[in-house]
Amino acid sequence: MGSRVMHFAISTRILREINLADESFILGGMAPDVCKNMNAAKSASHFIKIDGNGLAFVDLEGFRAKYLSSAANPFLLGYYSHLISDQIWVDEIYMKKIKWLPQPQKKKAQAQYYRDFWKLNGKLIQHYKLSLPIQPIEQQVSAMDEIQVDLLPELWKDLLFDFDHRHDAMNEPLELLDWQEVVDLLELTVSTCLSDMKEKRYI
């Protein structure tokens, strides 16, 4: 549920913590969102299932069983971190700020939410001192049933657009989200991903 820049920031922070230079982790950390470039619903690429109460959740166990049971390469671990990130974001932001609002307030909040993503791009790039590789990432990726890996360069172009326009709205006030709340949540996500991957001995 986070933005491209948020996922890029999370992946970059994790790589810095584990001192890993393999940028395929970063590409994996963005890969689930290639569903937009596929013009497909996010349910497959984000391993979304519905629980007994009719609420969506990310099937982390299903992803681990399918892709991490034998070999946990950096691309797949980046993908896994994206799924963890989205579950945290849904629980801490979407469910608390948007999910239960009545219409038309819900529609208004969703619009504010996505405008805030755009406004946050420049702030996050500056705060985390993010930079894109001089050359596009051309690392080995894993074939997956849920995404078209040949469209990942298009997703990368979208991220490049975010970076090129990072100054456009970064000084505008946020409407729904809070800056410190976002930073705290991203840091929580990084620590959760690291703890999970260390516990399962993926890293």
Contact 24/73 with Cβ under 8 angstroms? yes
Specify the 3-state DSSP secondary structure of 57.
Answer: strand
Q: What is the pLDDT of residues 63-94, one digit of tens each?
A: 999 999 987 899 999 999 999 999 999 999 99
Assigned token pair, 202: 């993926």
- pLDDT category at 141 given cuts 50, 70, 90 is confident
User: What one-letter code names the amino acid at 127?
Assistant: H
pLDDT recorded at residue 134? 56
Contact 29/10 with Cβ under 8 angstroms? yes
Structural domain span for residue 185: 4-199
Helix (H) / strand (E) containing 48: strand 48-50
Instruction: Give the integer Cα–Cα distance in Å for 26 and 14.
Output: 9
Per the structure, how many domains does the chain have? 1
Instruction: Give the integer Cα–Cα distance in Å for 76 and 64.
Output: 10
- pLDDT category at 176 given cuts 50, 70, 90 is very high
Q: Is pLDDT at 97 greater than 90 in this prediction?
A: yes
pLDDT recorded at residue 85? 98
pLDDT recorded at residue 15? 94
Assigned token pair, 113: 């939410």
The region of weakest confidence among 11-15, 27-31, 139-143, 181-185 is 139-143
Q: Specify the higher pLDDT residue, 53 or 176.
A: 176
The stretch 134-162 carries a mean pLDDT of: 85
- pLDDT category at 133 given cuts 50, 70, 90 is confident
Contact 131/18 with Cβ under 8 angstroms? no
The region of weakest confidence among 14-23, 35-44, 111-120 is 14-23
**Other Cβ atoms within 10 Å of 13 Cβ, number:** 19
Chain-centroid distance of CA 63 in Å reads: 16
Q: Is pLDDT at 102 greater than 90 in this prediction?
A: yes
Collect all residues with Cβ–Cβ distance below 8 Å to 37 and sequence separation of at least 6. 148, 151, 154, 155, 158
The stretch 93-122 carries a mean pLDDT of: 97
Mean pLDDT of the chain: 94
pLDDT recorded at residue 37? 95
Own/partner pairs for 63-70, CB < 8 Å, 24+ apart?
64/200, 67/142, 67/144, 68/200, 68/202
